[in-house]
DNA sequence: TTGTAAGCGTTATCAT
DNA sequence: ATGATAACGCTTACAA
């Protein structure tokens, strides 16, 4: 691999001149520039980003930490964040921790050693020790999607309360009164916020949720199935259900199918996230969508801007959900 | 951020001693070691991986290039590869190119500049100029999942012919004779191999596929829907269908539902990949599974081993599919 | 066992 | 406009 030195030698100039030519930092004589560019081409020279990074104390790198990769929300976010980062000249180091706090710390540690310019992560359910680690190191960090109520880092989140409201308003507008909700883990703030918005929307129409119509799931398909089992083995049954993500909604759908109930004929069903699942099911799933692309853009912007400014004021950016109506909901 | 120098100063030893202590490269006096480790702890010292990498001419980095991230196969592979890489002390730089050859080249270029120790990628449909780029740079590269018939790089692939065989044998064993296949893009080698295996399996039982029972899809849900439309608007209809991935199979399922045909009552349906979709549908999807975890492990091993050895013999590792039987297939 | 010094590939500072 | 030099943080001969 040729280095600056080789280019300089071949072009018959000093290393500094080559560097200046390539970085257009300072005017350079036309003829020298031509000679340098020639040499660069001949040697197929590529600047060594490790050396550049060492010098600049910046790896031009963004670290992205997710609980897992094979789930719609995370895969969506990763893909969008990858786009934005590259557009701004940064590469993405991606890692997942599966909810393991020790692993998460190890990942953060590595990112710091690699001199990433920022870390974007989504909180796992358990309060991990990342705060100290990140704050001490001075690396800017932004939480995306899954944050605490009062987050100590910058955060880009959905207005989850509003998401709940939208689901609730849609179902009550259709005349439903016996309404159930399959939540995410209630330890996670966004599950609670969604539920609160949902409850408030119903209350606004004079509807209250029976306590055994609120089932706590874990965002996985299987928990949706279990929730539906629970809901439909009791004496009284809901005519509408909101599941706080599409996976669980599809779980509900599967169970309803297996006990011979039709959607939306017998039960109306709303999901959340507008993942690619939503258009694949029969019937297509009405769902509350998140603006992933916008969230990604904001997260990248925020984390890079934190690098410059003084980082005492954690900024929180809240984006709006939207309702996508398909065939899984109908008038009561 | 403290450096070796700071640690050395605090411990009252030279930088080399600190380095040796930390890397256990050479025996060090017990008392010195203690002093050094004390200083490390006090300063919260973290070795700078940029500097280390510059010195070692190795970023301890693996580059992973995929067509996209939000699809089961890729998300699965990324997650597994992430695990393996970290386990071996490497971080993952992930990037996706959406089938854009120019973007792909830019990504490869960046990876080379970053001194990645290897590149793992999945081929897009179009023959891109990556060969020259990668070969010239001398960076080891391994193709995973989607490779050419005679791949110039190392490759870790499924035995796609066998996958087709398994699907075909399963359906003929159930007594089906009117059998259709929804393929991936036929420009891609693995689509052709799967189809060939499928055809051969049927031929072994004396069954041939009518030509209009082979529909070319693009691995997306929508193309599955379209394929089913095509298949069921003709006069004669198949009693069994194999779709070369689960997304398309679910598309078929959706269309069948919409025209009132039941699976497996009227039509048996087999998918491929055993993605998380397969267990979510009603009925659960019988499907041919890929050993993603094993593929990932092999790819990481291979690409890192290429770094050492002379890289003239591209190695090809082929792994076996397996059949997962659920509820979407039945005797004719 | 420990220290000194050179070098990995850049860029910024200071001369010229 | 260009060149020499030091420095970024680390490892590794070579010396002591």
Q: Do A258 and B96 touch (CB under 8 A)?
A: no
Q: What is the average pLDDT score of chain A? A: 94
What is the number of alpha carbons within 13 Å of residue A196 lying toward its C-beta? 11
**Nucleic strand C under 7 Å from the C-beta of B207:** no
Of A50, A71, A221, the CB nearest to B280: A221
- Complete edge-to-edge strand list for the sheet that includes strand A322-324: A214-216, A179-183, A240-243, A268-273, A286-289, A322-324
Check residue A311 and give its pLDDT: 60
Q: For B181-217, what is each residue's pLDDT tens digit? A: 999 999 999 999 999 999 999 999 999 999 999 999 9
Q: What is the DSSP secondary structure assignment for residue B63, as one 8-state letter?
A: E
User: Using an 8 Å Cβ cutoff, are B289 and B275 in contact?
Assistant: no
Check residue B129 and give its pLDDT: 74
Mean of pLDDT values over A22-43: 91
Q: What parts of chain B have a pLDDT lower than 50?
A: none
Of A46, A257, A279, the CB nearest to B282: A257
Of B133, B159, B135, B131, residue with least CA distance to B145: B159
In terms of CA atoms, which chain B residue is nearest residue A72? B70
Check residue B76 and give its pLDDT: 98
Check residue B271 and give its pLDDT: 98
**Nucleic strand C under 7 Å from the C-beta of A239:** no
Closest residue (CA) to C1' of nucleotide D8 is A55
Question: Alpha-carbon distance B300 to B60, whole Å?
Answer: 12
Of B47, B78, B247, the CB nearest to A113: B47
Closest residue (CA) to C1' of nucleotide D7 is A55
Of A78, A86, A112, the CB nearest to B46: A112
The distance (Å) linking the CA of A22 with the C1' of C6 is: 27
Check residue B311 and give its pLDDT: 61
Mean of pLDDT values over A282-293: 98
Question: Alpha-carbon distance A291 to A321, whole Å?
Answer: 7
3-state secondary structure of A286: strand
Strands A286-289 and A322-324: antiparallel
**Nucleic strand C under 7 Å from the C-beta of A56:** yes
For A118, phi and psi rounded to 5 degrees? -175, 160
Residues 34-93 of A, Cβ under 7 A from nucleic strand D: 51, 54-55, 57
Q: Do A70 and B72 touch (CB under 8 A)?
A: yes
The strand ranges marked E within B85-244 are 91-96, 118-121, 141-144, 154-158, 179-183, 214-216, 240-243
Check residue B310 and give its pLDDT: 63
Q: For A174-221, what is each residue's pLDDT tens digit? A: 999 999 999 999 999 999 999 999 999 999 999 999 999 999 999 999
Separation of CA B253 from chain center: 25
**Nucleic strand C under 7 Å from the C-beta of A49:** no
**Nucleic strand C under 7 Å from the C-beta of A115:** no
Which bases along strand D come within 7 Å of a protein CB atom? 1-13
Check residue A312 and give its pLDDT: 64
Closest residue (CA) to C1' of nucleotide C3 is B14
Mean of pLDDT values over A13-22: 95
The distance (Å) linking the CA of B37 with the C1' of D12 is: 21
């Amino acid at each position: 691999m040729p280095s600056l030195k080789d280019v300089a030698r071949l072009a018959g100039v000093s290393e500094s001149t080559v560097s200046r030519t390539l970085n257009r930092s300072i005017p350079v004589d036309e003829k020298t520039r031509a000679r340098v560019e020639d040499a660069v081409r001949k040697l197929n020279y590529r600047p060594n980003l490790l050396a550049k990074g060492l010098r600049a104390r910046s790896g031009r790198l963004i670290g992205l930490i997710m609980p897992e990769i094979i789930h719609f929300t995370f895969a969506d976010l990763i893909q969008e964040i990858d786009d934005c980062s590259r557009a701004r000249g940064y590469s993405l180091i991606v890692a997942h921790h599966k909810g393991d706090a020790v692993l998460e710390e190890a990942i953060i540690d590595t990112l710091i050693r690699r001199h990433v310019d920022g870390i974007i992560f989504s909180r796992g359910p358990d309060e991990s020790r990342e705060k100290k680690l990140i704050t001490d190191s001075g690396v800017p960090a932004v939480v995306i999607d899954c944050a605490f109520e009062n987050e100590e880092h910058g955060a880009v989140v959905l207005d989850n309360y509003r998401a709940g409201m939208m689901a609730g308003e849609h179902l009550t507008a259709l005349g439903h009164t016996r309404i159930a909700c399959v939540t995410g883990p209630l330890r996670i703030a966004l599950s609670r916020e969604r539920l609160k918005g949902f409850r408030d929307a119903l209350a606004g129409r004079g509807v209250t949720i029976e306590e055994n119509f609120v089932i706590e799931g874990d965002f996985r398909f299987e928990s949706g199935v279990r929730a539906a089992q629970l809901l439909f083995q009791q004496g009284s049954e809901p005519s509408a259900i909101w599941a706080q993500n599409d996976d669980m909604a599809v779980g509900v759908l599967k169970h309803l199918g297996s006990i011979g109930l039709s959607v939306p004929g017998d039960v109306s069903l709303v999901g959340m996230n507008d993942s690619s699942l939503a258009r694949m099911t029969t019937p297509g799933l009405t769902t509350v969508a998140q603006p992933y692309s916008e969230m990604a853009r904001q997260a990248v912007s925020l984390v890079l801007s934190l690098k410059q400014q003084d980082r005492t004021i954690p900024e929180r950016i809240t984006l709006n959900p939207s309702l996508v109506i398909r065939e899984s909901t109908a008038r009561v």
